[in-house]
Structure 1
Amino acid sequence: MKRLLLQISILAFMILCAASSCTGTKKTIEVTDNEKKTFNQQEGDTVKIASDSTEYEIIIIDPGFNTWLASIAKPEGYYSQSYLENRNQIYVTNWNQRAMQPLRYGGNLYEMQIDYSSGIDYGYEVNYKLYNYFVYFQRKYNQRLGPWVPRI
């Protein structure tokens, strides 16, 4: 009798979970037609992010990113620097975790770790371009580097 009661309880729980979406639905990223065109771009356009005050540089070689940045991304000044820094910190942390696990996440997407420190002021332009690359990357490759759906 106890076994039957346990089975009925488990079955009831499974039905309730199915009815109330306990399985969790993953929100998909809705990509516009203009974005699809930039994502399908084959010619390489390189974006170099560098600062004279610090000794670092980021080079993004992803066909379509420069076009996407100029035509689809929110303009410079739309976000505050602190907003960009906070989002970049989360994105970099998740990126680096995936880069350290190439068998799980695919070595082709996360080839290298990003050295980004919250204690360094990289300036607005660097944070803006890095943030927008993360948004571009997530939308193009249907990835999630944070708890929210990347929007433009």
Structure 2
Amino acid sequence: MKIFFYVVISGILVFGCATTKEKNMDLSVTNTASDTIRIANDSLEYEIIIIEPGFNVWLATQRPRGYYSEQFLETRNRIYVTEFNQRVLQPFRFNPNLYLQQINYEPTIHYGYEVNYLLYNYFLFFERKYHQRFIASRGGNY
């Protein structure tokens, strides 16, 4: 299971190494396996792969696409990524098996709604599954 998380983080890092291009960002979202989601644009400037048992089933129970604004998702993802990256740098304080490597999420890059929606929901899933809490102001039992 930990290997799946490593693959997810690696996928997140790949999509973070992109340049900014807002034209021709035709995203393709495919399910390559029952618990794998791949998001990429046609020119492969970035790619995110989420491989986590139960994520697809859990995602189907969450608020639908379009519920959140893109600005909301971008803001939350910046907060999540910053906190996640801080935890990567503190392996004695946080489980290094959960926080393997930093996520390169550039606030100046327009990743599009779909990437931000799935990344945000993955962080929510990660919080619940691994009993982690990133944003203290959010409610919920973990």
Q: TM-score, normalised by structure 2?
A: 0.69
Distance 1:150 1:85, change over 3 A: farther
- Report which of the two structures shows the higher radius of gyration computed on alpha carbons: 1
Instruction: Give 2:119's aligned residue.
Output: 130
Distance 1:150 1:123, change over 3 A: farther
Match 1:57 to one of 47, 54, 65: 47
CA distance in 2 between counterparts of 1:51 and 1:89 reads 21
Query: Equivalent pairs: percent with the same residue?
Result: 59
Between Structure 1 and Structure 2, the one with more helix by share is 1
Match 2:91 to one of 92, 97, 102: 102
Runs of 4+ with deviation above 4 angstroms: none
Q: Which runs of 5+ in 2 are unaligned?
A: 1-32
Between Structure 1 and Structure 2, the one with more strand by share is 2
Q: TM-score, normalised by structure 1?
A: 0.65
Distance 1:147 1:121, change over 3 A: same
CA distance in 1 between counterparts of 2:44 and 2:75 reads 19
Which structure's relative contact order is higher, taking Cα pairs within 8 Å and 6+ residues apart?
2
Q: CA RMSD in A?
A: 1.9
Q: Which runs of 5+ in 1 are unaligned?
A: 1-42
